[in-house]
Amino acid sequence: MGKILGKMNSLKKKISYKWIVVLILIVGVSFFVYRRFNTSEKTILATYTVKRDDLQEILGVTGEVDASEKASLHFQTGGRLSWVGVKEGDVIKKYAGIASLDQRTLQKTLQKYLNTYSKERRDFEQ
């Protein structure tokens, strides 16, 4: 009879451990399900209105446009451009006049330098 009671006690221990593990799993799963589906913050779904329209293809690029042949224009003095004697696509020979600066600014600057030179020369001669 002692052997039977010993087997029953060990059987009770095995059964109780199994029930405890099953109970812990059930509590864990129910807690996970509760947290997953019962949140206090409700998700607000964004809604959009679809409208029919024509397709447009738009291309946006950045960079520089460069010509196969180009020329750099240099003037002896800075100033305002007053005359351009060529159009796009014209053939131009070397040293041809293609643009002119405003002469009034150049004349004022030249007169100013001449006046300064005259004053310095008079001061030097005295």
pLDDT tens for the chain, 126 residues: list them: 555 555 556 656 666 777 788 889 999 998 888 877 776 566 677 888 888 888 888 888 888 877 777 777 777 777 788 888 888 888 888 888 888 888 887 788 889 999 999 999 998 888
- In 8-113, the DSSP E strands lie at 81-84, 99-101
- pTM listed for this prediction: 0.30
Please tell me the total number of residues recorded for the chain in this structure.
Answer: 126
Delimit the domains of the chain by residue range. Answer: 1-37, 81-87+95-125
**Per-position b or e across 4-17, b if 16+ CB within 10 A of its CB:** eeeeeeeeeeeeee
